[in-house]
Amino acid sequence: MAKPKRFITTPIYYPNSRPHIGSAYTTIVADFFARLYRELAYGTYFLTGVDEHGEKIQKAAEAKGETPQQLVDEMASSFKDAWKRLGISYNRFIRTTEKSHEKLVREILMKVYEKGDIYKDVYEGYYCVSCERYYTEKELLPGLLCPYHHKPVEKKRIDAYFFRMAKYRDELLAYYRENPQFLPPKYKEEILNKMKDLKDICISRPVNQVSWGIRLPFDEEHVAYVWFDALLNYMSGLDDKMQFWPPDLQFMGKDILWFHAVLWPAMLISAGFALPKREIAHGFLTVDGKKMSKSLGNVVDPLEMAEKYSADTLRYYLLTKLPFGDDGDFSRAVFKEAHNSELLGHYGNLANRLVKLWHRVAGKAEIEQEGKLAVDECFAKLESLKAKIEELAASNDVESLLPFYANDVFMDGVGAINAYLNEKEPWRLEPSEAEPILRQALEAFLYVSTLLKPLLPASTSKIFSSFGYEPCVSELELGATLSKVKTIPKELFLFKRVE
Ligand code: MSP
């Protein structure tokens, strides 16, 4: 039977500034899963991009003395460049200023309007430009400050169009009940609480206030609210590949879960589309215990970290050292320790030690090109790693996959090979005795490294290109990999110590 598909998304980022550690975190998590499902031979489509309309972008452009188009053009390239440097394997990078996206947004708006789910009224509320959303007075902090940005909000009274979101309350609640995976367990209560008082939502801005947006097809004097526009990227970004619909895994930070868990499915019910399977929220990062902010000067630049250590170190740190779903602290000390003792000490040194030993001790031996290697019992449990990964992936158990990779695959899987070498001490043996031991260890090393491809794509790619053979997880068989390599490299440096 053919494997099912996975449509994986990140939020589309506001290109008012360069990618920061928050956007890098969401993107790297999503990329890990996209790579994992590809390794398991699922039909995988991984979408990311930028959210280019709205007041926030319009104001950022004004402040820089540029047109919004100039600003978003520059920024879209800066995001693409960052994702390239961090090894993000997206299938499609969507920009909401693309004609095909604008066309789809207008079509959906028209559909929802014709269904009677959009009406005109007067809106009065407090708008936070940084959030691109309205708050009611009781949602604000004392002094009428935005609860997220702690900045003053603007009181506005406008003629506007509303989407009949409240009408879909019961249908949404039923969907949550029937699809227990849809809401992230940690934030479920919060969403359900907000549902008690679900109101219709304002989905337009008058052109004289915000001109940088998509015009409503039924009233060209208004532009679509940026969230109504942005959420539809998940559909327009598929282009003609609607066979991937609906989204399977939608990743985001907890601050924007509400839009994805409530507004987004309500829009889709109204427009008549199947609903996404899982909305997955991660927590917020602080830096060395403090809120990350420009004024504190403690903003972590993901590209700088990747440059100084490696892109794999950044990925390894974010995926294995932070408690996914909860808030976490970005600690430079832990980061450095993860690089030097875990990536280099536990894994990188093993790689180099193994290939060097092979050439020193068993170097004249030929790699047997046929048959399957009978694998030592010490490594038998490696096969259960693959089985477990397949099982967790099939059930979309994102929360368990990350710690499983950190502890079972990386720590224990690699640890088993280190322990084997330390016990057998092949460096003390005659070549004829050492050779079968190194053969075992190399086979196990290639096996674990294949499993590690989604976690450490750059390092594992270096390993496989130097061996001249790259297996993928779905075809992996313990005992059948070493016989397929073209060569065993003389040395293999994966990570450099950072002082
Ligand atoms: N444009 C909207 C999303 C529209 S999706 C249809 C948006 N853009 S954003 O640029 O602000 O997104 C930032 C992403 O980074 C969100 O997932 C957010 O949760 C995440 N983070 C921003 N700061 C963060 C931290 N300090 N820590 C972790 N992630 C945070 O929202």
Give nearest CA residue, ligand 1 atom 10.
Answer: 13
In the reported structure, the alpha carbon of residue 129 is separated from the centroid of ligand 1 by a whole-number distance in angstroms of: 14
Q: At how many degrees (to 10) do helices 55-64 and 68-85 cross? A: 100
In the reported structure, the alpha carbon of residue 97 is separated from the centroid of ligand 1 by a whole-number distance in angstroms of: 19
Q: At how many degrees (to 10) do helices 21-39 and 311-320 cross? A: 90
pTM exceeds 0.85: yes
C-alpha 233/C-alpha 252 separation (Å) is 14
Region 307-332: what's the mean pLDDT? 96
pLDDT higher than threshold 70 for residue 123:
yes
Strands 278-282 and 249-253, sheet pairing: parallel
Give nearest CA residue, ligand 1 atom 14.
Answer: 23
pLDDT more than 70, % of the chain: 98
In the reported structure, the alpha carbon of residue 239 is separated from the centroid of ligand 1 by a whole-number distance in angstroms of: 24
Give nearest CA residue, ligand 1 atom 23.
Answer: 22
- Determine the pLDDT at residue 365: 66
Closest ligand 1 atom, residue 234 Cα: 6
DSSP code for 275: P
Region 106-113: what's the mean pLDDT? 98
In the reported structure, the alpha carbon of residue 406 is separated from the centroid of ligand 1 by a whole-number distance in angstroms of: 25
Report the largest interatomic distance among the alpha carbons of the chain, rounded to a whole angstrom.
Answer: 87
C-alpha 199/C-alpha 187 separation (Å) is 20
Q: At how many degrees (to 10) do helices 382-394 and 21-39 cross? A: 110
Give nearest CA residue, ligand 1 atom 2.
Answer: 13
Helix (H) or strand (E) holding 328: strand 328-330
Which residue intervals of 198-300 are DSSP H helices?
Answer: 226-231, 233-236, 257-258, 264-271
pLDDT digits (tens, 9 = 90+) for 489-499: 999 999 999 99
pLDDT more than 90, % of the chain: 84
pLDDT digits (tens, 9 = 90+) for 253-283: 999 999 999 999 999 999 999 999 999 999 9
pLDDT higher than threshold 90 for residue 316:
yes
pLDDT digits (tens, 9 = 90+) for 215-250: 999 999 999 999 999 999 999 999 999 999 999 999
Asked whether the beta carbons of 17 and 54 are under 8 A apart, the reply is: no
Sheet with 5-13: list strands edge to edge. Answer: 92-95, 43-50, 5-13, 249-253, 278-282
In the reported structure, the alpha carbon of residue 19 is separated from the centroid of ligand 1 by a whole-number distance in angstroms of: 10
Task: Report which of 319, 312, 300 is spatially closest to residue 339, judged by C-alpha positions.
Answer: 312
Give nearest CA residue, ligand 1 atom 21.
Answer: 22
Give nearest CA residue, ligand 1 atom 5.
Answer: 11
pLDDT higher than threshold 70 for residue 171:
yes
Please provide the average confidence, as pLDDT, over all residues in the chain. 94
Higher pLDDT: 364 or 286? It is 286
In the reported structure, the alpha carbon of residue 27 is separated from the centroid of ligand 1 by a whole-number distance in angstroms of: 10
Closest ligand 1 atom, residue 255 Cα: 19
Based on the number of CB atoms within 10 Å of its own CB, is 386 exposed (0-12), middle (13-18) or buried (19 or more)? Answer: buried
With the most atoms of ligand 1 within 8 angstroms of its CB, the residue from 9, 10, 21, 26 to mutate is 26
Region 112-120: what's the mean pLDDT? 98
In the reported structure, the alpha carbon of residue 409 is separated from the centroid of ligand 1 by a whole-number distance in angstroms of: 29
Considering only CA atoms, give the Rg of the chain: 26
In the reported structure, the alpha carbon of residue 301 is separated from the centroid of ligand 1 by a whole-number distance in angstroms of: 15
In the reported structure, the alpha carbon of residue 23 is separated from the centroid of ligand 1 by a whole-number distance in angstroms of: 6
Region 154-169: what's the mean pLDDT? 94
pLDDT digits (tens, 9 = 90+) for 15-48: 988 889 999 999 999 999 999 999 999 999 999 9
pLDDT digits (tens, 9 = 90+) for 386-416: 999 999 999 999 999 999 999 999 999 999 9
Region 175-198: what's the mean pLDDT? 96
Taking the domains of the chain in order of start, what are their residue ranges? 5-282, 308-484
Predicted confidence band of residue 364 (pLDDT cuts 50, 70, 90): low
Q: Torsion angle, CA of 157/162/166/168, rounded to 10 degrees?
A: -160
Quick count: other Cβ atoms within 10 Å of Cβ 82? 20
Predicted confidence band of residue 440 (pLDDT cuts 50, 70, 90): very high
CATH for 308-484 (3.40.50.720, 1.10.3720.10, 1.20.1260.10, 1.10.730.10): 1.10.730.10
**Strand ranges in 116-188 using DSSP code E only, listed in sequence order:** 118-128, 133-135, 154-163
Quick count: other Cβ atoms within 10 Å of Cβ 64? 12
In the reported structure, the alpha carbon of residue 166 is separated from the centroid of ligand 1 by a whole-number distance in angstroms of: 26
C-alpha 205/C-alpha 433 separation (Å) is 77
What are the structure tokens assigned to 151, written together? 């900045």
Task: Report which of 156, 164, 166 is spatially closest to residue 205, judged by C-alpha positions.
Answer: 156
With the most atoms of ligand 1 within 8 angstroms of its CB, the residue from 51, 251, 262 to mutate is 51
With the most atoms of ligand 1 within 8 angstroms of its CB, the residue from 14, 28, 47 to mutate is 14
Which string of b and e fits 478-495 if b means at least 16 CB within 10 Å?
bbbbbbebeebbeebebb
C-alpha 37/C-alpha 46 separation (Å) is 10
HSE, side-chain direction, 13 A CA sphere, residue 248: 23
- Determine the pLDDT at residue 135: 87
Asked whether the beta carbons of 338 and 314 are under 8 A apart, the reply is: no
With the most atoms of ligand 1 within 8 angstroms of its CB, the residue from 51, 233, 252, 256 to mutate is 256
Which residues line the pocket of ligand 1, CB cutoff 6 A? Answer: 11-14, 22-23, 25-26, 51, 230-231, 233, 252-253, 255-256, 284-285, 292
In the reported structure, the alpha carbon of residue 292 is separated from the centroid of ligand 1 by a whole-number distance in angstroms of: 13
Closest ligand 1 atom, residue 14 Cα: 10
Quick count: other Cβ atoms within 10 Å of Cβ 344? 23
C-alpha 444/C-alpha 497 separation (Å) is 25
- Determine the pLDDT at residue 3: 78
Predicted confidence band of residue 152 (pLDDT cuts 50, 70, 90): very high
Predicted confidence band of residue 1 (pLDDT cuts 50, 70, 90): low
Asked whether the beta carbons of 43 and 4 are under 8 A apart, the reply is: yes
Domain 5-282 falls under CATH 2.60.200.20: no
Based on the number of CB atoms within 10 Å of its own CB, is 409 exposed (0-12), middle (13-18) or buried (19 or more)? Answer: buried
Closest ligand 1 atom, residue 23 Cα: 15
